[in-house]
Amino acid sequence: MASVCRTQMKLEHSHDRGLTARMQVFVGDDRGYLDWLARHPEGWVLNVRMHADPNYVVLHRATCPTISRPGVRAGAWTERSYRKVCCTSPEEIDAAARAEGRADGRPSKTCGICHPQPGR
């Protein structure tokens, strides 16, 4: 056991469903997206355009008011111009950013309101 990677142990320990936790992409599903936010206040959200654009991959904390504040028109979060990629670990953020065309696995921008710093 002594050789087990500390990062991996931490990951397993912090997710009670183990390593099966995966990033979730919400498209056309504001209700599901807002529900995910409520269940993962410690998570992160990549706000990306409906059509993948490496120049617009913005990382937020799940608790950031700019990605969930009430009062906006229904469908504003995932049903028009944007998708939301919801992550629960830095590894998922890395994979999600790459999937959006970010070769370095980093967001193009981090939110200036919530200042996300996922394990870096």
Quick check: 64 binds Zn ion (CB under 5 A)? yes
Taking the complex as a whole, the smallest distance from the CB of residue 63 to Zn ion amounts, in Å, to 9
Residue nearest to Zn ion (CB): 111
Based on the shown chain and the rule CB under 5 A, indicate whether residue 46 belongs to the binding site for Zn ion. no
- Which helix (H) or strand (E) segment holds residue 73: the answer is none
> Percentage helix, strand, coil, to 5, in the chain?
30, 20, 50
Residue 114 as a binder of Zn ion (CB under 5 A): the answer is: yes
Nearer to Zn ion, 11 or 93 (CB): 93
- Six token digits for residue 106: 């980093």
C-alpha distance from residue 116 to each of 28, 79, 108 (Å)? 25, 24, 13
Residues near Zn ion (CB under 5 A): 60, 64, 66, 111, 113-114
